[in-house]
Homo-oligomer: A and B are copies of this chain.
Amino acid sequence: MEYIKNFNVRNNRNLTMLVDFYELTMANGYLKTDVKDKIAYFDMFFRRVPDGGGYCIMAGIQQLCEYLSSLTFTDYDIDYLREKNLFDDDFLTYLKNFKFECDVWAIPEGNPVFPSEPLVTVRGPIIQAQFVETMILLTVNHQTLIATKASRITRAAKNRPVMEFGSRRAQGYDGAIYGARAAFIGGCSSTACTIADQMFGIPAVGTMAHSWVQLFDSEYDAFKAWTESYPDNCTLLVDTYNTLKSGVPNAIKVFDEVLKPLGKRPSGVRIDSGDITYLSKAVRKMLDESGYSDVKIVASNSLDEYIIRSILDNGACLDVFGVGERLITAKSEPVFGGVYKLVAVEDPKTGEITPKIKISENPEKITNPAFKNIYRIFDKDSNKAIADLLTIRGEEIDFTKPLTLFNPVHTWKKKTLNNYYAKELMVKIFDKGELVYESPEVKDIKEFCKKELDNLWAEVKRFENPHPYYIDLSQNLWNLKQELLMKYSSEFNK
């Protein structure tokens, strides 16, 4: 896989120590108690879709695989920890000989995902399963956030290409690089971030900045020089001085003088400031009247899904969008609140699995206990996704028979499906610490995402007040959860 080669060339980083310090103090603590022998199950999941949306787009698994494959504590790390005078020699020896041994399941990238279902499940020795918390959350939270935002923005653009332009305003280098990757998965057509093209094959695009125009004696000279350099793919930035009085007239003049004699067509003009709706209409008219009705108008000024929708509603004549800071930081809601919670503990001797629940005053924050499986249930005729069904892993559900789903809160709301099929959502990505999953190429993830989004009902994809997608529990899982809640309740409400 070429990207792996490039990854190593470019980003040969050991991020093992990018970990919350408490993972280390806990690990050191576990090693001194019997708890160390327990096998833990953790779920990574989120509770709410950003921006009031109806779905998220899963992303970040390739990077998670790279991280988990390369967990190693160097001598430098061990020395650093020793100097803290907090950690026991046994623990430092344990780290020195560290070998990742967990099983990991994940929902593949590009899938629409929903609140309260596990995106990643880790099973392994408690010390290890706990240790990877920080990087699992960091990796999946970041890329899922940006892929989800990109899905919203590109849907607002209604099939017009959206270029990712945000590197300069990203939150750090990885914010730019992996942000561009996630934006592409979520629907962007290309990126301005060159290294993201090298690493992931996301088409890199870009023409000129205002400084190009300023550096020549006149805007006309600047456009002429550009067009002579790039006659085959010529997009001119027309707003440096005055879009309508100077930029577009100069552009048309240069198209006529330089490209026409060569028999070539210009690609576009770009507007980066001012009243985009008004300007785009005026520019469209000027271009059309000069015989350039095929020339595209590109807009790129602090755009997001709300502004794109609004300017298109107002009849803006735009063909392509460049979206920067509001996409690369998910500005309207820049935090994806994924969490990593203990859901079960296995006795290493008996193999018995004890489900765990995390209680909260806030009912939404109560976890779904147990080592689980997720099935996405589709309508056989329309291929639309109806619900995701969480089950206890190991329980038998006969999907050849009618399936009754019920609302986990309002249990009287039931629905029996006859004409459906079920698809298991999670795949195993690590088996006893060995990577067993090959990440698809990013362009294939993008295509997959597009296809899977088509399988969601329009009601779930609405910007405002989307219909909540159903996340249902199997009867067994529901019973188990109730049982644990009752146990808790009787303990603390004496």
Binding site for B on A (CB under 8 A): 6, 9-15, 17-26, 28-30, 32-33, 35, 38, 40, 42, 74, 76-77, 80, 86, 126, 130, 133-134, 137-138, 141-142, 145-146, 165, 167-179, 191-195, 197-198, 204-212, 214-216, 225-226, 228-230, 233, 240-242, 245-246, 273-274, 325-326, 329-331, 334-338, 340-342, 345, 356, 358-362, 365, 488, 491-492
| Known interface pairs A141-B169, A167-B18, A334-B171; A492-B133 also in contact (CB < 8 Å) | no
| Known interface pairs A172-B171, A206-B24, A360-B273; A492-B241 also in contact (CB < 8 Å) | yes
4 nearest A-B residue pairs (beta carbon): A22-B206, A172-B174, A21-B206, A137-B168
> A172: which of B32, B33, B178 is its contact (CB, 8 Å)?
B178
Q: How many angstroms from the CA of A29 to the CA of B226 in the assembled complex?
A: 7
Q: How many angstroms from the CA of A206 to the CA of B21 in the assembled complex?
A: 5
Residues of the B chain whose Cβ atoms lie less than 8 Å from the Cβ of A210: 341-342, 358
> A142: which of B170, B195, B365 is its contact (CB, 8 Å)?
B170
Q: How many angstroms from the CA of A33 to the CA of B491 in the assembled complex?
A: 80
Residues of the B chain whose Cβ atoms lie less than 8 Å from the Cβ of A331: 334-335
- Measured CB to CB, the closest approach of chain B to A206, in angstroms, equals 3
- Measured CB to CB, the closest approach of chain B to A193, in angstroms, equals 7
- Measured CB to CB, the closest approach of chain B to A267, in angstroms, equals 13
Q: How many angstroms from the CA of A331 to the CA of B211 in the assembled complex?
A: 32
Q: How many angstroms from the CA of A80 to the CA of B3 in the assembled complex?
A: 13
> A169: which of B35, B178, B336, B341 is its contact (CB, 8 Å)?
B336
Residues of the B chain whose Cβ atoms lie less than 8 Å from the Cβ of A492: 241-242, 245-246
Contact between A198 and B25, CB atoms less than 8 A apart: no
- Measured CB to CB, the closest approach of chain B to A199, in angstroms, equals 9
Q: How many angstroms from the CA of A169 to the CA of B329 in the assembled complex?
A: 12
- Measured CB to CB, the closest approach of chain B to A324, in angstroms, equals 9
Offer 13 A-B interface pairs, CB within 8 angstroms, sorted by A: A21-B194, A32-B229, A80-B198, A130-B211, A138-B172, A138-B176, A142-B170, A171-B171, A172-B175, A172-B179, A214-B356, A240-B358, A245-B492
**Taking the full assembly, how many copies of this chain does it contain?**
2
Most B CB atoms within 10 A — which of A10, A17, A172, A356?
A172
Contact between B18 and A138, CB atoms less than 8 A apart: no
> A193: which of B10, B14, B20, B212 is its contact (CB, 8 Å)?
B20
- Measured CB to CB, the closest approach of chain B to A51, in angstroms, equals 13
Q: Output the nearest chain B residue to A216 by Cβ-Cβ distance.
A: B35
Contact between B10 and A167, CB atoms less than 8 A apart: no
> A194: which of B17, B133, B345 is its contact (CB, 8 Å)?
B17
- Measured CB to CB, the closest approach of chain B to A184, in angstroms, equals 14
Known: A30-B212, A138-B168, A142-B172. 9 other contacts (CB 8 A): A20-B193, A24-B206, A138-B170, A141-B168, A169-B337, A171-B171, A172-B179, A214-B358, A331-B334
Contact between A171 and B167, CB atoms less than 8 A apart: no
Q: How many angstroms from the CA of A361 to the CA of B488 in the assembled complex?
A: 63
Contact between A20 and B171, CB atoms less than 8 A apart: no
- Measured CB to CB, the closest approach of chain B to A335, in angstroms, equals 4
